[in-house]
């Protein structure tokens, strides 16, 4: 597969590093509006640098376009890719607004070109193992889940993460990972209640605490923070009627199981080593080549965005919100 990467900043560099370990992929070009960033990204993989998507696809044969741009730019570029008849990989979230997401999905609906959205947490070994345990009934009936995702405040081109209109803050850029994983694991969300610092203009700090109630009865508490005074970290805890499972990126064990038939605590087998981003991109490339259905569907990405916008509306109004509008 011939891939063109658009955007060679933070996430683009991660994708390029993953492609370097994928012999089935030829990165034919890297485009970025900043020439020095494009050149640096191209050097990582030994390919050519371009100043725009248009320049890249006019000069190179491209099968898959990997979009690693600002969220607010996703719609315009995805629609161009659809018109050009190429597959697209969009980093999460699928778009900044629900309307933009709908336009992107419609552009790829019914065509032979594929739309893939990078909700990479579905490919983290700890999370894969936790979902397997839940699906197998090892925890019993799930009642409560807790997740936390904390990071220093991110920097990016023109400080775009700090512009809520472009990034959507922690609710649309950070904990959307957890919204997607929890919905994938526990089912549809019927109600969202959130509190956060949105609109209070704290300097380079964003924090939110969200409660999700699922149609099946489970409740999840989701915490997200930009401005954490330490390295990025995440954790998850899922408690069921038989046992509880936890994972913490700061701990020595990838996954711990407490209770159940195995005793007070054990560490279930978790395969680690390969970057989850590489696992994700290998999966997407294989799906594009074989028509295999992706683990993350376009509708999944849309539903996660709906939960994020419901959380935004809840922060603004102070009321519980059903996913589906607002934000």
Residues 18-40 have pLDDT tens digits of: 999 999 999 999 999 999 999 99
* Separation of alpha carbons 20 and 312, rounded Å: 38
- Residue 154 falls within a domain, yes or no? yes
Residue 190: inside a domain: yes
- Quick check: is 69 in a domain? yes
Question: At how many degrees (to 10) do helices 35-45 and 10-19 cross?
Answer: 20
Residue 327, pLDDT score: 43
- If you ran DSSP here, which 8-state letter would residue 294 be given? P
- Angle, helices 276-290 vs 10-19, to 10°: value is 70
- Number of residues assigned to the chain: 327
Here the CATH number for the domain that contains residue 237 is 3.30.360.10
Rounded mean pLDDT, 132-149 = 97
Q: Which residue reads 């969300």 in tokens?
A: 189
Kindly state whether residue 56 falls inside one of the protein's structural domains: yes
Span 273-282, average pLDDT: 94
Pair (177, 262) in one structural domain: yes
The token pair at 265 is 């605590």
Lowest mean pLDDT among 149-163, 180-194, 300-314: 149-163
- Averaged pLDDT, 196-221: 88
Choose the weakest-confidence range: 5-19, 115-129, 146-160, 172-186: 146-160
Q: Are 258 and 84 in contact (CB under 8 A)?
A: no
Per cent of the chain over pLDDT 70 is 92
Interval 271-298 mean pLDDT: 93
3-class DSSP assignment, residue 104: helix
Shared domain check, 206 and 137: yes
pLDDT of residue 269: 73
In whole angstroms, how far apart are CA 189 and each of 104, 120, 147, 176?
A: 23, 20, 16, 13
Neighbours of 132 (CB within 10 A): 11
Tell me what pLDDT residue 261 has. 65
CA nearest 168: which of 231, 238, 60, 74? 74
Question: Do 313 and 166 share a structural domain?
Answer: yes
In which element (H, E) is residue 87 found? Answer: strand 87-91
Q: Based on the domain organization, do 51 and 26 belong to the same domain?
A: yes
**Same-domain status, 37 and 177:** no
pTM: 0.93
Residues 165 and 309 in one domain: yes
- If residue 75 lies in a helix (H) or strand (E), which one and from where to where? helix 74-83
Assess whether 138 and 237 both reside in one domain.
yes
Residues 229 and 176 in one domain: yes
Shared-domain flag, residues 160 and 256: yes
Does residue 26 sit within a domain? Answer: yes
CB 295 within 8 Å of CB 281: no
Tally of domains in the chain: 2
Residue pLDDT, tens place only, 62-104: 999 999 999 999 999 999 999 999 999 999 999 999 999 999 9
* Per-residue confidence (pLDDT) for residue 326, from 0 to 100: 44
Q: Provide the CATH number for the domain around residue 114.
A: 3.40.50.720
pLDDT over threshold 80, residue 172: yes
Full residue range of the structural domain in which residue 267 is found: 122-274+304-317
135 and 266 assigned to the same domain: yes
CA–CA separation, 238 and 38 (whole Å): 42
**Within a domain: 325:** no
Residues 309 and 285 in one domain: no
Same domain, 147 and 236: yes
What average pLDDT score do residues 107-122 get? 93
Which two tokens mark 60? Answer: 């190179």
1 Cβ neighbours under 8 A, 6+ residues apart: 24, 25, 26, 63, 64, 285, 288, 289
Phi/psi of residue 293, nearest 5 degrees: -75, 135
């Amino acid at each position: 597969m011939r891939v063109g990467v658009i955007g060679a900043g933070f996430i683009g560099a991660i994708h390029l590093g993953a492609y370097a370990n994928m012999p089935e992929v030829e990165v034919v070009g890297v485009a970025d509006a900043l020439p020095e960033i494009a050149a640096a990204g191209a050097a990582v993989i030994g390919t050519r640098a371009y100043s725009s998507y248009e320049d890249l696809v006019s000069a190179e044969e491209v099968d898959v376009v990997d979009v690693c741009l600002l969220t607010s730019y996703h719609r315009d570029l995805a629609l161009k890719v659809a018109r050009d008849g190429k597959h697209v990989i969009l980093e999460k979230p699928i778009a900044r607004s629900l309307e933009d997401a709908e336009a992107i999905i419609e552009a790829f609906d019914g065509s032979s070109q594929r739309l893939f959205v990078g909700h990479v947490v579905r490919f983290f070994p700890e999370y894969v193992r936790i979902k397997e345990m839940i699906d197998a009934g090892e925890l019993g009936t799930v009642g409560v889940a807790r997740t936390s995702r904390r990071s220093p405040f991110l920097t990016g081109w023109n400080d775009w993460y700090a512009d809520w209109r472009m990034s959507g803050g922690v609710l649309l850029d950070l904990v959307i990972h957890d919204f997607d994983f929890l919905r994938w694991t526990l089912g549809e969300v019927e109600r969202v209640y959130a509190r956060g610092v949105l609109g209070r203009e704290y300097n380079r700090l964003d924090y939110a605490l969200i409660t999700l109630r699922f149609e099946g009865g489970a409740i999840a508490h989701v915490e997200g923070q930009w401005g954490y005074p330490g390295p990025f970290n995440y954790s998850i805890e899922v408690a069921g009627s038989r046992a509880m499972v936890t994972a913490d990126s700061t701990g020595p064990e990838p996954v711990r199981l407490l209770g159940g038939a195995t005793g007070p605590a054990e560490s279930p087998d978790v395969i680690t080593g390969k970057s989850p981003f590489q696992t994700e991109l290998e999966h997407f490339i294989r799906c594009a080549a074989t028509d295999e259905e992706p683990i993350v569907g376009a509708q999944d990405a849309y539903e996660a965005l709906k939960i994020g916008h419901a959380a935004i509306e809840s922060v603004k109004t102070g009321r519980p919100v059903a996913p589906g509008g607002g934000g």
